[in-house]
Structure 1
């Protein structure tokens, strides 16, 4: 396991111009400054929060490279490079490596559901082709692939995948991997409302979209639970953060994150269609939740 998979890793969004026709590079720089200033430990662009399925292949390379350039070595960037074919996944991962990514997060192909042997072959091909730590992106609701705890361990042993971001929401399974398969693969949290439980369990890191909106609160939670081992402080922080996480998981996630970014003063433009803006009532609800948590909200 490599050092960059430690602490709070912000699932980063993709800023667009006002009409959503192009990636907003200046907007990426604003996002990075906002997140890094909040003490977050790393950036993960190009995932679901970053609307990667709405980007062209060229835009995906542009976004990853822009985040790497803006981070300027201050925090590691784990670039999302999963694609529908092995060849495109390798090409995107090679480009991220050449640009200076610290690692790559790779979701398995998500249209034709892969068998476990096909999954192993896919990741083995990527790890053989690119000398870069690989994070498996576990999101069964999108891929249809539901691995057992033992299969996660085999994935690490056979392919060289070092860890996985768990966006499956099965905390008992994550716990089994954490205790029983840790020699072969490291379980990282990727389900917002399980963040407190995962850090309390001992998960080394969490890939967390809320960290793109409230980075300081997210960093404070990690420090309280993991660094300082102050359970009372962690509980108090989680009482503020959890309602925000519940809100995010109740709406289209990328759209909710972009709404939050706008509310805290780092507007990243709209989501791309077919995703529509949140209704005004939901925006106002989010505004109240952020204020209640102590976040500075713009008018």
Structure 2
């Protein structure tokens, strides 16, 4: 299989919803994609945690994939989140994503009843047989209950269509072990916001980053300074602006924080789905203050709506 070599920053994209949260907002998807790509971001990853995939129906998830591929219109690769609790549904969503034009799929292991490594090999093996596009393994042990060793992750890549992994584990030593010892088997993409600087500095080729949907120019600038130009001074200056925003987002419900940020920068994506509630007013204003300190222009709520 010809695997895409992901480089740069891929935005973990939200699922825009109508004002009452009852339906997907197609216009909102186009708004997000234009904002992200015009800001210099290199790819899109809808249908993941930031996209609230656990709150969507199977048909809504297919709709989100189709809308993001259509809105991207070949300007940036789209990696569709297709994880589900059953192998059959994961296959169905993955086959659909390939037909819709996604260049790869991102899959987190089935959660709630965490599979054994043997079951995981079978799960990803079945998906691999059903599609002709690569799989990005979504490593998020806190949500999936699955903690692979670096050696197991490399084995998974050798035996299935997994070619890369998004690491949202927060264990930098683990990420480094995979990166240093198993780069020939699997490509590392950072997925833990506050470790972005460290991961890129250590050689990670790409990152999947929800914050990039809110402040794309700053995030793309960090990648350029750190990973392309190796300008440590410029990268540190950018990171000093970005890090407080990342830290804030990691301290709240992430999708809600991202959607609040989108409201504040004038590209609203609607509410999060219940049971997640809106950020309290004081936290919303705290985020506004952080964005302003980073040099990002914000708007009034009435304008954002």
The TM-score, its normalising length taken from structure 1, stands at 0.99
Alignment match, 2:116 = 115
RMSD over aligned Cα atoms: 0.8
Which runs of 5 or more residues in structure 1 are unaligned? none
Partners of 1:231 and 1:127 lie apart in 2 by: 40
- Aligned-residue offset at 1:183: 1.0
Matched, 1:27 2:28: yes
Contact 1:83 1:89 in 2 (8 A): yes
* Deviation for aligned residue 1:111: 1.7
Q: Is 1:124 aligned to residue 120 of structure 2?
A: no
Matches within 5 A, 1:1-299: 2-299=3-300
Q: Distance in 2 between matches of 1:76 and 1:175?
A: 26
SS in 1 for 2:83: coil
Q: Which runs of 4+ in 1 moved over 3 A?
A: 1-4
User: What is the CA deviation profile of residues 183-219 of structure 1, one whole-angstrom value per residue up to 9, with x for unaligned ones?
Assistant: 1111210000000000000101000000000000000
Consecutive unaligned residues in structure 2, runs of 5 or more? 301-305
The CA distance in 1 between the partners of 2:151 and 2:210, in whole Å, is 28
Could you tell me how far apart the structure 2 residues matched to 1:128 and 1:184 are? 19
Alignment length (residue pairs): 299
Query: What secondary structure sits across from 1:114 in the alignment?
Result: coil
Q: In structure 1, how many angstroms separate the alpha carbons of the residues matched to 2:138 and 2:132?
A: 18
Distance 1:30 1:185 in 2: 33
Query: Deviations for 1:231-284, whole angstroms, at most 9, x for unmatched residues?
Result: 000000000000000000000000000000000000111000000000000000
SS of 2:195's equivalent in the other structure is: helix
